[in-house]
Every structure is written in structure tokens, then in C-alpha cells.
Amino acid sequence: MKPIRNPVTMLMIILALLVPLMPNTVAAEDHSAVKDLILLENVPQVEDQITDNKISLTALHIYEDGHFEKVTKDLTWSTTNKNVAVVEDGEVTLSGHNGRTFITVSDGVYKDRIAIDHKPVKPTLKQKPSFEGKVVKQQGERYDIIEQAIENMTINEKIGQMLMPDFRKWEGENVTEMLPEIEQIVKEYHLGGVILFRENVVTTEQTAKLVADYQAAAEKYGLLMAIDQEGGIVTRLQSGTDMPGNMALGATRSSELSYDVGQAIGEELSALGINMNLAPVLDVNNNPDNPVIGVRSFGESPELVADLGVAYTEGLQSTGVAATAKHFPGHGDTAVDSHLGLPEVPYDKERLMKVELYPFQQAMDAGIDAIMTAHVTFPKIDDTKVISKKDGTKISLPATLSPKVLTGLMREDMGYDGVIITDALNMNAITEHFGSVDAVIRAVKAGTDIVLMPVGLEQVVKGLLEAVESGEISVDRIEESVERILTLKLNRGVIKSETATNMDEVLANARQVVGSDAHKQVEKEAAEQSITLVKNDGSLPLNSASDDKIVVIGNTYINSLYQSVLSHHGNTELIDASGPLSMEQLNQLESADTIIAGTYTYNVSGRSENSSQMQLVNQLVEELDVTVIGVGIRNPYDIMGYPEIDGYLAQYGFREASFEATAATLFGKNNPSGLLPVTIPGENGEPLYEYGHGLSY
């Protein structure tokens, strides 16, 4: 054989021989090479925990450009001491013996290891001896992957991590599948997250596919896929389990149920690939005139809100889904909807710490992932005045845009170092008074990390870049936020993977989890335990075995109430009416044995005695010699509009399980155990019904 003399040919042969030995390359556009393999659990910012003697380890490839991706294929795992722990595909199980083992992972080129100790816990006098496992991280610069990522990011990439727009509609149509235009926006602006709405999440399969397509569109770092799945009246998933809302949970007084509800919601979101829930609401609803919070709150007691809110958070975050407490510093004691105007809370810091801020402090101390700001002014915390672009008047600076609230109060005074996210920046409280670009710049300067639903993405990005270039916003301020966002992503497993998602497996799991029988059971228990019997003049429970004629009357959601009553009592009729009846209609009702009046209100005018539906109920009470039972479908305050009614139930929401629980209670199949989570005001400042009031059979 002749020797090869052509140097180009020789080089090509050498390269061909070396290719199989070279590290894998990433699918991202820059095709930068792998420079290391590390265990995620060695990263200092990552919280790791051994649960039930098990821990799942994640291997990451670190690339030359600083970004990282999850790697699962072609890895070798080993343990130095099988008596302490065994490992299979990263799943570590403690064997039960004392000692230390090192778990090692290798891709054939790079390797990393982590120590796991299993030691006895010193018991107290009343405890039996026990053991616990502990992860001992490796030390060194190679694990500062967040710092390395930030150092290698462009300023555009850093700003992109802070943006979370919505894509509810595109050219007038609901966005239910990935569009090329949206994919391009995700890439062009290096988006860090996207928020989904009810228009986007129609079926289980469609939602899982849409979320996976969003993640595929992200080039280097996984997306925070967020949603407002509070439960109750704010429920986005169309195919999920419709959990009763927070005030229903407040009526149960059960931390265990709140945990179960949070966990069930988290399991459904996680199965769909949604990794951030903008819940729970931790506002203390101590103002019955509140038009926007109401039953979204656990109640009027700061302690109750804190206890149930923390339980809900722990349940949610146990599934790997990030929880978000809202709306800081508190939207409960307002009479204005910040979607429509700019509310004010007039209290000083001492009062706020005892009431509004108490649940937030408890959630922070319990390790909540994120806090959402409120578009509400707190003039005794920040008395800064700015000129409104709406009418040129001087207005107070809302919390969302206030350095004194976000940095001074939240960061410095309350010690919170998690992610801060704004409430939607397209709400009137912001858009009317501040330009869209000015609002975002102010929010970032104030200390926010994620800008939710900015108006005009291109203009906002341009404005932020100019603010950085001019020095109005420092690069350090941007990088502080990016570090918090990446820390959250690492802790919640929001990491790009080198291996494409197996959608068949994802869909199969989602079908099993979303709307499962186990979750429906949690929903049923929460609804049944929430029903509050506020008034009973001896009319309840009804006798479902009799031939008595029952008439269900009302307007909003009245068919749902009717159907639930009908399922217990065949001789039931429905009258759809939103105001007082004619004499002819009243005469027809004389043959009824019981009338069930369903009322639905969400503001002060709705429950006023002068409102049409309250006039209707009072007409029934005053002009008919028939038992009238009221059902407050949404707000428990409805009885204020018809205090002379014979009986009254509060169900706190309009989801199917709540109607079914109300009907079961009406007929004695469910013994009501709910307690009012709020005070029902009466005349002359005296309560009509006290906080904690509740009857049973």
C-alpha cells in the first residue's frame, strides 16, 4: 500500500477517526461543544432532598457557551458502597446501613460524583432511634454553572429571561397549537417564560403538545410555562379537575385538604408540562366590598390565610411545580379592581405586618418559589408621587413599580430572595397611568425579576436595552434577576434536554393524571366539607322521599343548581328569572312546597337590596307562604340582601362539585361542617353573622 502524502487527505482521515471520541454537540444554533458533565445536585443553589430513602439525580452537560442541558443517554452510574445506597439510571435508593457512598456518573469522557451519608439521628427521650440520608455536595468552580451561564449570555438573552408574555390569540383566533410566528418570537427575544390562559388549554392532549412545542422552541434554557390554576372561580384548564376555590378551603379549616388540593393541581399541571402556577392567592379578604379578590381569598383571618396558603404551597411544590403567592403586599382590603383602576391601601407598616403581610411572610419562610406584586398603592410605605399619563394628575406609585415596596419592604425588611413577578402589566391600573415601556423600566428598577404580559414586546425590549445602555438600569440589576430565574428553573427541573421528548409517554401519563378519580375525590371532599349552613329556621334538611314540589329559581348558573337538586328530587321545576316576578308567576308558585333561590354576586351593587335579583328573593320571602332557601353561589355575603330568608347555604363557587355538595346538603346526604371564613356585615356596624359561624344537622 502506498503511503498517503496529501496533507488534506491525511487531516480528513485523522478527523474521521477522532469524531467518535469527541463529546456530543448540542442541537442549539451555535453547536458549541460539551466541556463538562456535572450532577445538578452539586450546584450550590440547588436544594436537594432525600425523600422516603430515595433521591433522583440529574446529569447535566455543560457547553462552551455556558449553557447546560439534561443528559440521560449513554451514561454509566455507579456507587462505591452498595450497603449504603444503590443507583440505577440516576435513581438512588438508600439500603439502610450507616456510612457514606459516592455516586458517580460518566458519559465516557467526563464524570462527576456526589456523596450520600446515611447516619443515625439522635433521638429525644420519646423517640425511637431513626436514620436519615444526607446529600454532601462537591465543591469547586465547575459547579457555579449559573454564574458561568450569565457571564456568557448577551444582554438580549439576559433581558429575554425576564419576559413572560401571553399568546392568548393570534390574528383573532385562540392559540391552541404552536404557530411559526410565535416560535420565531420565542427565539428572537430569547424568552424566559410564557403564560397560558383558558383559551390555550382546551384538551389534555392538545395542552401537553402545545407546552412541549413551546419548550422545543426555546433555544438554550427551558421556559417557565405559567398559568393561573388557583381553583374555584379562577381555573384555566378546561380538561382538569375543577377544585373548589380558596374561600371554600377556608370554610373547611383544613390544612390537610389544602395540601391535597395544591398537590392535585400540581400533579395535573406537571403532567401537562406546566411548571409554574400563579397561585395561591394570599390576600386577606377583610373588605366585603372587594370586587376582585373575594372568594379567591382563604378568608379574613391572616392566620387562616397563612396556614392554608402554606399548606397549599407545600402540596403544589411537592410535585415540582413552582408556587406564586399573590398579590403582594395585599389586595384584600380594596374596593377597586386593579384590572379597571388603581386601588389604595392606606395602612402603615405595623398594621400591614400584622394583617396583609403576615401570610406572605409565612410563605416566604416556608420557601415559596415566587411572589406576585399588586397594582395597588400603599402611600404609607411609599409616598412617592408621579404624574399620571391618563390625566396629568399626581398619583401614588403602585407596589409593582415601587423600589420601597419590592426592594425595601420585600427584599430587605422581610428577607425574601426568591423570584418576584409582576401582575399583568396590561391591566388598567398600569396602562392608563404609565406608558408600557416606562412601566416595565420602573418595575425592573423597583426590583422585579419577571415582567408579566408586557404591552408591545418589541418596544419593551428596545426600551430596556436603551435603559441598560444609558446606565438607568445597571447590568448587575439585570443579572440579579437572571440568577434568581435560573436558580428557580434548576430547582424545578426546567432544563432543556438533549433527548427529544417522547410525546407518546407524555400523553399517556397526562391522560392518567389529569382529571383522575383520585383528584375528583379530593375535589368532592373539599366541596362537601366547605358547604356552610349559615341560617336554618328548621326547614332543612329537605325530605327527598316525599312528593313535595320544589322550585329552583334564579338566573346566573341557575341551571347547574337545578340539575343538582333534580338529581336528588324528581319533582323539581326551574324558573329562570333575574328580577321580580309578575303576579301570575307568583300565583303559580303558591303550589310549591319549597323554593330554592340561587343568587350570584361579585360586587356591592349585586347584593344591594335594590338589585333586581335581591328584589326577586325578597319578593318570594315576603309575598309567598312558602319556605324559601337561599344559596349563595359565589359570595357568602348574599344573605345581606335577603336577611329574612328561611334558610341559607354558602357554597363559595360555581364549579360542578360545589353544586353537587350543596344539593347533597339540602337533602341531608351531607352534614354541613363549613365555618364562615369571613364576617357577614349587618346594620349599624354589627355583624349579621360572625367569622367562624356555621350550623349543622
Q: What are the residue numbers of the active site?
A: 339, 423
Can you tell me the distance from the alpha carbon of 278 to that of 235, in angstroms, rounded to the nearest whole number? Answer: 11
Task: Classify 547 as helix, strand or coil.
Answer: coil
Pair type for strands 173-174 and 193-196: unpaired
Task: Classify 93 as helix, strand or coil.
Answer: strand
Can you tell me the distance from the alpha carbon of 510 to that of 513, in angstroms, rounded to the nearest whole number? Answer: 5
Task: Classify 56 as helix, strand or coil.
Answer: strand
Can you tell me the distance from the alpha carbon of 355 to that of 177, in angstroms, rounded to the nearest whole number? Answer: 43
- Cβ distance 364 to 418 under 8 Å? yes
CB atoms within 10 A of CB 590: 10
Decide: residue 185, CB within 10 A, 0-12 exposed, 13-18 middle, 19+ buried. Answer: middle
What DSSP string runs through 397-434? PBGGG-HIIIIIIIIIIT---SEEEPSPTTSHHHHTTS
- Cβ distance 285 to 299 under 8 Å? yes
Question: What amino acid is encoded at 153 in this protein?
Answer: M
Q: Kindly provide the b/e burial profile for residues 505-516, where b requires at least 16 CB atoms within 10 angstroms of the residue's own CB.
A: ebbeebeebbbb
Cell of 258: 389544602
Task: Classify 479 as helix, strand or coil.
Answer: helix
Can you tell me the distance from the alpha carbon of 450 to that of 195, in angstroms, rounded to the nearest whole number? Answer: 11
Sign of the four-CA dihedral 357, 359, 364, 368: negative
Can you tell me the distance from the alpha carbon of 488 to that of 95, in angstroms, rounded to the nearest whole number? Answer: 31
Can you tell me the distance from the alpha carbon of 162 to that of 192, in angstroms, rounded to the nearest whole number? Answer: 6
- Cβ distance 495 to 213 under 8 Å? no
Nearest to 674 by CA among 279, 358, 304: 304
Can you tell me the distance from the alpha carbon of 150 to that of 157, in angstroms, rounded to the nearest whole number? Answer: 9
Cell of 130: 431513626
Can you tell me the distance from the alpha carbon of 89 to that of 331, in angstroms, rounded to the nearest whole number? Answer: 47
Q: Kindly provide the b/e burial profile for residues 625-664, where b requires at least 16 CB atoms within 10 angstroms of the residue's own CB.
A: ebbbbbbbbbbbbbbbbbbebbbbbbbbbbbebbbbbbbb
Can you tell me the distance from the alpha carbon of 602 to that of 377, in angstroms, rounded to the nearest whole number? Answer: 23
* Cis geometry, peptide bond prior to residue 20 (ω within 30 degrees of 0): no
Ramachandran quadrant class, 596 (left: phi over 0; alpha: psi -120 to 50; beta: rest): beta
Can you tell me the distance from the alpha carbon of 283 to that of 298, in angstroms, rounded to the nearest whole number? Answer: 8
Distances (CA, A) of 517 to 240, 642, 661, 677: 11, 38, 17, 28
- Cβ distance 258 to 249 under 8 Å? yes
Cell of 27: 442541537
